[in-house]
A and B are shown apart, each in its own frame.
Chain A
Amino acid sequence: GAVVSQHPSRVICKSGTSVKIECRSLDFQATTMFWYRQFPKQSLMLMATSNEGSKATYEQGVEKDKFLINHASLTLSTLTVTSAHPEDSSFYICSAGSSLREQYFGPGTRLTVT
């Protein structure tokens, strides 16, 4: 199947700093990518839909100024957590794929804010 990569796989940052997470579709083009967040022992929660060449669509309760999404090409979407705080520590996962068939998920990025 198709491959989606994420970088970095894990990152530790200090409170107040910003962290950028990359999501790449390696062997297919994706006009739309999705960003999810998963807290320990919980399910995945959709944060936002990343659209190539246009603004991202955020789910209710997700601060667009805190979680900046850029989808500059058909194979790359980035999520920047700005002014990170310990409560932003989580497992961030991206996905891409068609609307009818399967979604391909990245391996996830473990963010720890100290």
Chain B
Amino acid sequence: DAKTTQPNSMESNEEEPVHLPCNHSTISGTDYIHWYRQLPSQGPEYVIHGLTSNVNNRMASLAIAEDRKSSTLILHRATLRDAAVYYCILRSYGGSQGNLIFGKGTKLSVKP
């Protein structure tokens, strides 16, 4: 699976939008972009994923660059419960069985 690059940490104020960037310049045409987050002392949880088009769900939005070499996870109104490590992961269609290769992720801090 191709590699992703994320900032080590970011800070946000409560109730403000947060844009978490991810670079994946070696992405292939069959790679899906997945985002997971891990709250302290918990297992990761799925946030969102996409292939080419921007995606929205109840948790977040995913904006994918036209060349697909970068993407941005958008939390529209950060809450204290959004403080977590956010992982951007590429998954190849028809590739391995579903295991995820985790990078270091971005640690998001949310200030009240």
Contact = CB atoms under 8 A, between A and B. Distances in A.
B34 A99 contact: no
Interface string B93-112: 11111111111110000000
Interface residues of B, number: 26
Contacts, number: 64
Contacts of B96: 99
Nearest to A42: B104
B11 to A, nearest CB: 18
Contacts of B91: 99-100
State the majority secondary structure of interface residues on B.
loop
Interface of A: 1, 4, 6, 32, 34, 36, 43-46, 49, 91, 93, 95, 97-108, 110
Contacts of A110: 41
State the majority secondary structure of interface residues on A.
strand
Contact of A108 (B43, B87, B95, B104): B43
Contact of A104 (B32, B46, B103): B46
Contacts of B93: 100
B51 to A, nearest CB: 10
A95 B100 contact: yes
B98 A32 contact: yes
Interface string B30-44: 001010101001111
Contacts of B105: 43
